[in-house]
Amino acid sequence: MNSSNAASPNHDRVRTRFAPSPTGYLHVGGARTALYSYLFAKKNGGDFILRVEDTDEERSTEDSMKMQLADLAWLGLNYSEGVDSKTLKDIGPYGPYRQSQRKNIYREYADKLLKDGIAYHCFMTDEEIEAQRELAIKEGRPQQVNSPYRDWTLAQAEAEIAKGRQATVRFKVPDLTREYSFVDLVRGEVKFPSDMVNDFVLLRTGGMPVYNFCNVIDDALMKISHVMRGEEHLSNTLRQMMLYEALKFPLPRFGHLSIILGSDRQKLSKRHGATSVNEYNERGYIPEAMNNFLALCGWSSATGEEVLSMDEMIQQFDTDRLHPASAVFDEVKLKWMNAQHLRALPHAELWKRLAPFFAKAGLILPTDADWQDRSLSVFKIYMELLADAVELYRPLSLAPLEVQPESKEALGWPKTREVVEKWKSLVTAHPTDYISEAEFVAYQDQVKNLVGVKGKELFMPIRVAVIGKPQGAELKILVPLMKKTVLIERADTVLQQI
């Protein structure tokens, strides 16, 4: 086992977490973070935890949380602790797993820092803070806030609060400038001078904790050993390291993952198309492909393989093979990968996944497992997405045949009635329920010879009699999948319109 894959020196067991903010659908970038955290935990025999970071009261919703949990369940990224995706109840020993339900815990640690003189109450107004920032910009200095309340005693501050004054709680950054460093799982050694930041807020005036504060407390209390997150969080790490030190918590190993770009090498966004896991699900992508594709957006297999199962990814996952360079989200590659995984599914499983798409499209298809198996042997090579099956199977729907308007010309030809009648008579005389491809070709030749037609005057009337329109999939593919009784009913329907 590589050193980067070993348990953190400060922790006995590998424990990773995914901590989404429930403010919308699960983005593919978040899904990749969850996947890497899951793979790392599984590779090392550890635990994968789900924590909901819902301290953004204005934007966080329970509906968003349910959607994100459903997306994780669809991907198969099952966690051993967290908010249950069905009951929404906590599972595991370190709950609550929703930050909105942990405010008393954050308050307790804020009080400890206040008591120890490591934090202080700050009564600065938004206007005063903004005025300081504007002056800093004017003077060409870093936009850092210097609070006049930094050296107040706790008793002084509490006396003001008792009078009704509103205060934030700020962390007192040590005056002594020093260097903070850590070894990132993706980027190697990272160093920060402590004067990059000044006193920062821990609790807002309403008592709601800020991201860095509750993040540190939760990761420590939930015994998280390794934190994987997007590179945009790298700037948070200095403040968090200061808090870990002040609270005497063991520091986890951090891994800051590369950003995901669109095909134009700009940050992935809605203008590039779908960006949420749910959208890809609805469009007919399958989770095996989604996980495989996302795994390769910033990581590579040591064997060079591209099409990988979840078990293979777990076995091969190694943080040494995570790349700091930006990853490009290539939809063409994703679709290709989806086709590989889709076609590899056992037919019974593939049919189960296709069924909702058929139902949504109103298709009525045979329930016979042998027929389903036979039809998939024919059609799956034409599918890249599950949704592709709808148009492939539409001609086989057992719903009454609808003769399309574009059939009018073919139905008006002089020999069309005779062609359809002869076709029907040959089908009616067929001895079994289904006609093979070879038998269909032979029947078509018989109609040609008996009626004396060829080319489109032969093919188009038969096609209308089978699928209700003069163009479409090859009949030699479709007819062997259609029961004799259905073919007769369809021929009768067409004959009534000639």
Q: Is 483 a catalytic residue?
A: no
For every residue of 265-312, DSSP letters joined together read SSBP-GGGS--BHHHHHHTT--HHHHHHHHHTSSB--TT---S--HHH
Residues 138, 270, 408, 422: which is the catalytic one? 270
d(C-alpha 419, C-alpha 21), whole Å: 65
Structural contact between residues 200 and 238, judged by C-beta atoms closer than 8 angstroms = no
CA angle, 287 then 292 then 295, to 5°? 120
- Sign of dihedral through CA atoms 69, 73, 77, 83? positive
d(C-alpha 13, C-alpha 22), whole Å: 28
Q: Which residues are CB-neighbours of 324 under 8 A, at least 6 positions away?
A: 186, 187, 231, 258
Task: Name the CA radius of gyration of the chain, rounded.
Answer: 32
Q: Could you give the 3-state DSSP secondary structure of residue 246?
A: helix
Instruction: Work out the end-to-end distance of the chain between its first and last CA atoms, rounded to an integer number of angstroms.
Output: 75
User: Which helix (H) or strand (E) segment is 327 a member of?
Assistant: strand 327-328
Residue whose C-alpha is closest to residue 44's, from 12, 76, 78, 84:
12
Which residue carries 């909702």 as its tokens?
A: 356
Which residue carries 């609270």 as its tokens?
A: 247
Q: Which residues have a catalytic role annotated?
A: 270
